[in-house]
A = this chain, B = another copy of it.
Amino acid sequence: MNYIGIDIGGTNLKAGLVDETGRLLATRKMKVAGIADPAALAWTIHVLSMDLCHDFGCGLEDIVSIGVGCPGAVEIRGGSILYTCNLPLRNVPLRRLFHQLSDLPLYIENDANCAALAEYYVGGGRGSKRFITVTLGTGVGGGIVHNGKIFHGSNGMAGEVGHMSIEMNGEECPCGRRGCWEQYASANALKRQTARALSEHPDSILARVIAENDGHVSGQSAFIAARQGCEIGQQVCDQYIRYLTVGIVNIINIFQPDTLAIGGGVSNESDEQLLLPLRRQVAAHSLPCNYDKMTRIVKAELGNDAGVIGAALLGKNKRMI
């Protein structure tokens, strides 16, 4: 039996057919902008499901369930999207709308939680019992899987580790607080830190690396410059890893997961430049603990597919717990 996962992003809606082992058998992608209203969203999910089955050569009767991952707040029991940050979806009773078209079970979940579930089953969290993902992207997202269950808190909104303040009088965050971790440790924050170093050191290797990239500051610029022996680039990387460490140690001191996976674009940097110095600093700053009981810090493995795979595996998760 197979599962269908739908990952609703800010720009694209991705759909995938996934087997019991989390393998992607077929995928489809479309622009979210083309979906006019909630009823059209339900219809799109229904049609994509049939398309995926057609692509792979199976029937809808081979599908256990459909899972939908979506940014923002969802109501998992009722199967509704409450609100999303970037999309005009508010209080959408998606399960009800979908069941006017199909009898397949439909589950809804926050997209960061879907990604965590995918990594838990078939990615960096395989074999973990207390697992946390930290995704370094536009913001810093978090997903917690505890004893095989997504950790929702009392209202479905738990896991917003990016909105943990690590500098109470620090930089302003759109959430209204100051010093939120994502203002320091997201890919966007790294770009800002890199741009600041660029303006202060226009003659550095870092500046040349950025110039060669058509003047575009990316999350990779500082790492590339550091590899070329740039002291300024290295300073940006070192400071960024310090920011990353503060939040990760906070998470470990509170949750003590056995495994913590970092994902998002930044996590693609080499182990020598990112994972190894991060592990050293986290070990140095966490509360003392027997070596064999320390949180293992790993990379997320599924990249951009985590959202679709995790959404699909929501159905498997419901059957197993």
Contacts and interface: CB of A to CB of B under 8 A. Distances in A.
Interface of A: 129-130, 142, 146, 152-161, 163-169, 175-177, 179, 242-243, 246, 249-251, 253-258, 284-285, 287, 289-290, 293, 295
Given A166-B166, A167-B167, A254 B160 contact: yes
Nearest to A164: B250
A287 B160 contact: yes
Given A146-B146, A165-B250, A167-B167, 16 more contacts: A130-B153, A152-B256, A154-B257, A154-B295, A157-B287, A158-B254, A158-B256, A163-B287, A164-B253, A165-B166, A166-B166, A168-B246, A175-B287, A176-B284, A176-B285, A177-B249
B256 A293 contact: no
Closest 8 pairs (CB-CB, A-B): A153-B256, A154-B258, A155-B293, A158-B256, A164-B250, A160-B253, A163-B253, A130-B154
Contacts of A167: 166-169
Contacts of A253: 160-161, 163-164
Given A153-B255, A253-B160, A253-B163, A177 B285 contact: yes
A106 to B, nearest CB: 23
A249 B142 CA distance: 16
Given A249-B165, A250-B164, A287-B160, A129 B155 contact: no
Contacts of A177: 249, 285
